[in-house]
Amino acid sequence: MTLHPGLSADAASFIAGRHLLLIDGQWVAPSEGRRFDVFDPATGGVVAAASEAGTEDVDLAVAAARRALEGPWSRFSGPERARLLMRLADLIEANGELLAQVEVIDNGKPLALARAGISGVAEMVRYFAGWTTKLNGETVKISLPGEWHAFTSHVPIGVVAQIIPWNFPLSMAIWKLAPALAVGCTVVLKPAEQTPLSAIKLGELILESGFPPGVVNILTGFGSGAGAALARHPGVDKVAFTGSTGTGKKIVEAALGNLKKVTLELGGKSPVFIFPDADIEAAIQGAANAIFLNSGQVCSAGSRLYVHERIFDQVVEGVAAIGDGMKLGHGLDAETQLGPLISAVQRERVSDYIDSGLHEGARIAGSGAKAQSEGYFVAPTVLVDTRPEMRVVREEIFGPVLVTQKFGNEEDLAALARTANDTEYGLFAGIWTSDIGRALRFARQIRAGSVSVNAHMVNEPALPFGGFRQSGWGRERGREVLELYTELQSVAVRLA
């Protein structure tokens, strides 16, 4: 196992350690004794070994979460839960550099992006800590004869299985953990098999924060094993999943056994529209960020770019030039602007999409530079001469690949909305224009859970995030996600 020389001693020691499962407040070996390799995607080399949870481990973790739910955790008041969450946020910040470096090795992203993510993670925890005392019901006036006192209240939904992806491992863990813990649920968290390390470190910080045993359990392993067992487990009351639309559909099927609640944050093929009155330089940079951030491995990536014909060449050339000028490399190298894809499988998938587009008549704008051979890299790719029926236009690629098309009549917002909505997804859309009235009228016609104007994907804890159609069910962030971790109970008391 070879680690990058840029790692701090603490990060290197953690990564090289013996990684176990967190069940009922203890780090334990997997019941079947299986382990699996963890790879640095920038080199393709093995950097660690993690424990592979099996069905028995899932049973133990769910039972521990149930005991905590019905035992000590149920007696924690809102302020007490808030104090624990605030302590966790402080520990995340105190261990921020270690967590960021682990995230780089786990996922491959540049260190600057990982550091920014840690700051956002801590603030997300604090945001939900503030909600522990504020999710109230309401009193209800009863129309029946007599004197009544009636009210509603939010009660924790119960034991929650949370299955998270590999593109933003720590952020996705916190997006799910923080609201569930804020309302009083208990959790079994399964990180993606490609990126287990930051979740393990997070588990250490959760224990250090003082959460009772069993409130958070962490099972590393595979989706086909631990993930599938959690989705169908009769002791789980809810599954929260982020990942592909195909896997989300399988989770829905697995949840039918006990009709457990399900929330899903799934795929996207998000459009970005640039009108001729936009701040063109800002729009070019924004469009580039929308597709190249995290090597395009973002569910809300702006992967379909529509530009008015008068400025099309200028915008496309600008975005392609940004992509061509990006320095690819290991996330711990100071000059790196773009890291690798997560795996060899993902690299081949993305490369196949590019080949498919070229075979169907698309062309690469700019230099079309080749990525380095070591690691799982794909160079930024901007495709022109694309058509709506092409696979690269219709399907989620999940890599740094942008498809571009022109539009002419900028006032026909209905036609542009039909273009935006011509997809099975509905996660995000971007609009660049100086005419805010037009932007608001256009946004109302787009079938997407989030729309940003003159910006890309505003990552704000208070803003709900989620999709229409096959981009998922439910929302992350904001008050709305808290309600999805509770059941609404009505109580009516006859007084006379």
Q: What is the b/e burial string over 128-164, where b = at least 16 CB atoms within 10 angstroms of the residue's CB?
A: bbebbeebeeeeeeeeeeeeeeeeeebebbbbbbbbb
Residue 291: burial class (beta carbons within 10 Å; 0-12, 13-18, 19+): buried
> What does the alpha-carbon distance between residue 151 and residue 492 come to, in Å, rounded to a whole number?
7
> What does the alpha-carbon distance between residue 10 and residue 480 come to, in Å, rounded to a whole number?
38
Q: Are 168 and 195 in contact (CB under 8 A)?
A: no
> What does the alpha-carbon distance between residue 144 and residue 435 come to, in Å, rounded to a whole number?
53
Residue 317: burial class (beta carbons within 10 Å; 0-12, 13-18, 19+): middle
Q: What is the DSSP letter of 155?
A: E
Does the annotation mark 265 as catalytic?
A: yes
> What does the alpha-carbon distance between residue 265 and residue 269 come to, in Å, rounded to a whole number?
13
> What does the alpha-carbon distance between residue 210 and residue 47 come to, in Å, rounded to a whole number?
30
Q: What is the b/e burial string over 60-77, where b = at least 16 CB atoms within 10 angstroms of the residue's CB?
A: bbbbbbbbbbeeebeebe
* DSSP per-residue codes, 34-95: -EEEEEETTTTEEEEEEE---HHHHHHHHHHHHHHHHTGGGG--HHHHHHHHHHHHHHHHHT
CA angle 99, 104, 107 (to 5 degrees): 110
The residue from 193, 265, 396, 476 that is catalytic is: 265
Q: What is residue 133's three-state secondary structure?
A: coil
Joined together, the tokens standing for residue 119 give: 């700051």
The residue from 299, 335, 374, 424 that is catalytic is: 299
**Terminal-residue alpha carbon distance, the chain:** 74
Place of tokens 């770019």: 305
Known catalytic residues?
265, 299
